[in-house]
Amino acid sequence: MARSGAVLLAACAVVAALCCISTAFVAPPRAGLEIDARVGAATFAGLLPLAVMQPAHAVYDSVVAMLQSWLFGGTVMIVIYGLALLAAIANPLTIRRKEVEAQVKGQQ
């Protein structure tokens, strides 16, 4: 009985492989894709720092060191987002534009 199950499983695997590999539709050839060497070099140069960085699963000396690094990183992120929010709110050009708009409406 076990052999018939194995044979049936093998037959199903062969049929599935043939269905997946067979080419029912062949797309017409496209124009050649030109790859610029400069794009490849720029991509490689941009991803190079990721190769030399410390791995993401860095081993900490203790749990306290890990928590301190998370707290420091979280504080830095809060400061960065806070500065971005401040820059968005206190945009001097927007403030001046609103002042000029109010002045123009006051003259009319």
- Of the two residues 76 and 97, the one the predictor is more confident about is 76
Per-residue pLDDT reduced to its tens digit, 77-96? 999 999 999 888 887 788 88
Is residue 15 pLDDT above 90, yes or no? no
Question: What is the predicted pLDDT for the residue at 79?
Answer: 96
Question: How much is the pTM?
Answer: 0.35
CA dihedral 91, 95, 97, 98 (to 10 degrees): 140
Tell me the two tokens of residue 34: 């030109």
Cα–Cα distance measured from residue 48 to residue 69, given in angstroms and rounded to the nearest whole number: 24
- 102 backbone φψ class: left, alpha, beta (φ>0; ψ -120 to 50): alpha
Per-residue pLDDT reduced to its tens digit, 20-64? 676 666 666 676 667 778 888 888 888 887 777 655 666 667 888
